[in-house]
């Protein structure tokens, strides 16, 4: 079978079909984007009795939320030592605690809303591509245990075969708290739950412009959409790597980066067990990293930032070849295995590689997940709902500075990405 340019996860799910209805004249909250951020916020707000309208330019889960690896990961993209150097011990402690809470947030929603999405606490495994990377694991484990009271485990090279059927790595580090999920089923379930709770989800309705406008003496926002104009007391933007010109101040702070995934045919049981004996969510220690796992039906899902530009037909095709070569380097056992699906999606990186939430010109936002968004976007959506409903929340990612591009040299068009790609490749080579 030829490789199909299609998101495998979408073959496993029926997305909810929200009823077609006109936009209301007014709402308490307009949420932009029907991914994990927007839908978890909409669910929490609707449960508190708010009148919520979610605007989605495409369909439920169309963005990164249905396209990702389904790794529900603890920790942040930046390592703990770097975080402590940037933010100090206290703030880093709160950030790390939040990163652990994100996993529980996903689990709670899955349980409460009865979402059949193969959520399982299989743990994650980071594997070291160099001896120096492995040496750093011991330091990280020690700092995380001491500062955050959370126990990770170092796996020396000699014991790595109990974790992964590959002998190219120098050792590993395991966190048992992380989980795996079928992301498309999870986002479909979130959408269904938000609808049941009373939120309106307006598909194929793109926000084009938002500006402050008071109504009957109440402050709020006028939203111009591809369908109608309406008014909302509050606006929350959760558009991640797909943030566009409707929110230009936010767009300038986000770098969209393409990430791509292949999945193989279904593997024989014994081979699947050999490749990943504990069914971990696995990623390597490079900047230009590979991430991989078994799907619930035992395909190998193998992803990476094969091309830096967002997905197009050309980058998707090119990525299939690059990723297949990468997969065989890791797992020569898959040399004769067919790759059945390839697809891509867009990640959102901020200039400091941190998640950020807050308000710009009165509009709430939560973005910057840098490939860690399954759990973090869910949690941020809940926190933003709390902030909007109660007027306050406790969220370290709303307290840190949100930097723009150095010298302000960026208008949302990522012209420097090929150079960034080359830079990270060099960094992987020398560090």
Ligand X SMILES: Cc1cc2nc3c(=O)[nH]c(=O)nc-3n(C[C@H](O)[C@H](O)[C@H](O)COP(=O)(O)OP(=O)(O)OC[C@H]3O[C@@H](n4cnc5c(N)ncnc54)[C@H](O)[C@@H]3O)c2cc1C
**Residue 43 is a binding residue for ligand X (CB under 6 A):** no
Minimum distance from residue 303 beta carbon to ligand X (Å): 6
Q: Which of 84, 65, 67 is nearest to 76 (CA)?
A: 84
Nearer to ligand X, 240 or 295 (CB): 240
Residue 281: CB atoms within 10 A of its CB come to 27
Nearer to ligand X, 302 or 410 (CB): 302
CA–CA gap between residue 71 and residue 144 (Å, rounded): 20
**Quick one: which of 76, 106, 110, 377 contacts ligand X (CB under 6 A)?**
377
Cβ(201)–Cβ(126) below 8 Å: no
**Residue 238 is a binding residue for ligand X (CB under 6 A):** yes
Minimum distance from residue 63 beta carbon to ligand X (Å): 3
Minimum distance from residue 381 beta carbon to ligand X (Å): 7
Structure tokens at 265: 């045919």
Nearer to ligand X, 165 or 238 (CB): 238
**Residue 239 is a binding residue for ligand X (CB under 6 A):** yes
Stretch that binds ligand X, among 54-62, 91-99, 397-405, 415-423 (CB under 6 A): 54-62
**Residue 371 is a binding residue for ligand X (CB under 6 A):** yes
Stretch that binds ligand X, among 241-249, 334-342, 401-409, 411-419 (CB under 6 A): 241-249
**Residue 34 is a binding residue for ligand X (CB under 6 A):** yes
**Quick one: which of 16, 18, 33, 75 contacts ligand X (CB under 6 A)?**
33
Q: Which residue's structure tokens are 């402690």?
A: 93
Residues forming beta bridges with residue 34, ordered by sequence position? none
**Residue 265 is a binding residue for ligand X (CB under 6 A):** no
Instruction: Give CA separation, 404 vs 253, 352, 408, in Å.
Output: 5, 9, 6
CA–CA gap between residue 98 and residue 398 (Å, rounded): 12
- Per-residue binder mask for ligand X (CB under 6 A), 166-205, x = binder: ----------------------------------------
**Residue 285 is a binding residue for ligand X (CB under 6 A):** no
Minimum distance from residue 366 beta carbon to ligand X (Å): 7
Report which secondary-structure segment, H or E, holds 429: helix 417-430
**Quick one: which of 374, 384, 385, 388 contacts ligand X (CB under 6 A)?**
374
Nearer to ligand X, 180 or 409 (CB): 180
Q: Which of 64, 78, 27 is nearest to 221 (CA)?
A: 27
Count of positions on this chain that bind ligand X (CB under 6 A): 44
Q: Which of 322, 319, 261, 270 is nearest to 293 (CA)?
A: 261
**Residue 242 is a binding residue for ligand X (CB under 6 A):** yes
CA–CA gap between residue 130 and residue 348 (Å, rounded): 27
**Quick one: which of 32, 52, 327, 339 contacts ligand X (CB under 6 A)?**
32
Show the DSSP H helices in 276-348 as ranges: 313-330
**Residue 37 is a binding residue for ligand X (CB under 6 A):** yes
Structure tokens at 136: 């750093």
Q: Based on the number of CB atoms within 10 Å of its own CB, is 405 exposed (0-12), middle (13-18) or buried (19 or more)?
A: middle
**Residue 294 is a binding residue for ligand X (CB under 6 A):** no
CB-based contacts of 423-430 (< 8 A; 24+ apart in sequence):
424/287, 424/288, 425/288, 427/287, 428/129, 428/286, 428/287, 428/288
**Residue 346 is a binding residue for ligand X (CB under 6 A):** yes
**Quick one: which of 15, 23, 52, 71 contacts ligand X (CB under 6 A)?**
71
Nearer to ligand X, 196 or 204 (CB): 204
Stretch that binds ligand X, among 81-89, 240-248, 351-359, 401-409 (CB under 6 A): 240-248
Q: Which of 99, 265, 284, 254 is nearest to 173 (CA)?
A: 284
Report which secondary-structure segment, H or E, holds 255: strand 254-264
Minimum distance from residue 135 beta carbon to ligand X (Å): 26
**Residue 125 is a binding residue for ligand X (CB under 6 A):** no
Instruction: Give CA separation, 196 vs 119, 154, 345, 377, 389, in Å.
Output: 21, 44, 28, 21, 19
Cβ(140)–Cβ(79) below 8 Å: yes
Give me the DSSP letters along 64-129. Answer: HHHHS--EE--S-SS-HHHHHHHHHHHHHHHHHHHHHHHHHHHHHHHHHTT--S--B---EEEE-S
Residue nearest to ligand X (CB): 373
Minimum distance from residue 343 beta carbon to ligand X (Å): 7
Nearer to ligand X, 240 or 382 (CB): 240
Nearer to ligand X, 72 or 216 (CB): 72
Summarize as ranges the residues that interact with ligand X (CB under 6 A): 32-38, 55-58, 62-65, 67-71, 73, 206-207, 238-242, 244, 246, 259, 261, 291, 303, 345-347, 369, 371-375, 377
């Amino acid at each position: 079978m030829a490789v199909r340019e299609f998101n495998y996860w979408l073959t496993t799910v029926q997305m909810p079909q929200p009823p077609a209805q006109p936009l209301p004249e007014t709402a308490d909250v307009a949420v932009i984007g029907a991914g994990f951020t927007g839908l978890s916020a909409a669910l929490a707000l609707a449960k508190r009795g708010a009148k919520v309208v979610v605007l989605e330019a495409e369909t439920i889960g169309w963005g990164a939320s249905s396209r990702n690896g389904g790794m529900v990961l603890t920790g942040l993209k930046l390592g703990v030592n770097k975080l402590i150097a940037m933010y100090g011990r206290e703030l880093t402690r709160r950030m790390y605690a939040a990163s652990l809470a994100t996993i529980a947030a996903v689990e709670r929603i899955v349980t409460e809303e009865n979402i059949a999405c193969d959520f399982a606490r299989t743990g994650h495994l980071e594997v070291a591509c160099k001896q120096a990377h492995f040496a750093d694991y011991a330091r990280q484990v020690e700092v995380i245990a001491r500062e955050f009271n959370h126990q990770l485990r170092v796996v020396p090279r000699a014991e790595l075969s109990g974790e992964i059927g590959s002998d190219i790595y120098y050792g590993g580090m395991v966190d048992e708290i992380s989980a795996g999920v079928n992301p498309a089923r999870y986002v479909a379930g979130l959408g269904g739950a938000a609808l049941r709770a009373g939120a309106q989800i307006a598909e194929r309705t793109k926000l084009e412009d938002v500006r402050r406008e008071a109504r009957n003496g109440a402050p709020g926002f006028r939203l111009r959409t591809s369908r109608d104009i309406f008014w909302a007391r509050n606006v929350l933007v959760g558009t991640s790597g797909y943030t566009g010109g409707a929110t230009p101040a936010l767009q300038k702070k986000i770098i969209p980066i393409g990430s791509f995934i292949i999945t193989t045919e279904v593997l024989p049981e014994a081979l699947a067990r050999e490749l990943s004996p504990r069914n971990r969510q696995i990623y390597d220690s490079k900047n230009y990293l590979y991430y991989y796992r078994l799907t619930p039906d035992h395909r190998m899902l193998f992803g990476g930032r094969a091309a830096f530009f967002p997905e197009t037909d050309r980058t998707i095709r090119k990525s299939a070849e690059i990723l297949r070569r990468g997969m065989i380097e890791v797992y020569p056992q898959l040399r004769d295995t067919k790759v059945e699906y390839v697809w891509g999606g867009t990640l959102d990186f901020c200039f400091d590689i941190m998640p950020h939430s807050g308000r710009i010109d009165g509009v709430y936002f939560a973005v910057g997940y840098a490939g860690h968004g399954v759990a973090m976007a869910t949690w941020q959506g809940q926190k933003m709902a709390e902030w909007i409903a109660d007027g306050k929340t406790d969220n370290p990612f709303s307290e840190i500075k949100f930097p723009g591009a150095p010298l302000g040299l960026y208008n949302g068009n990522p012209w420097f990405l090929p150079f960034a790609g080359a830079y990270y490749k060099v960094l992987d080579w020398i560090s």
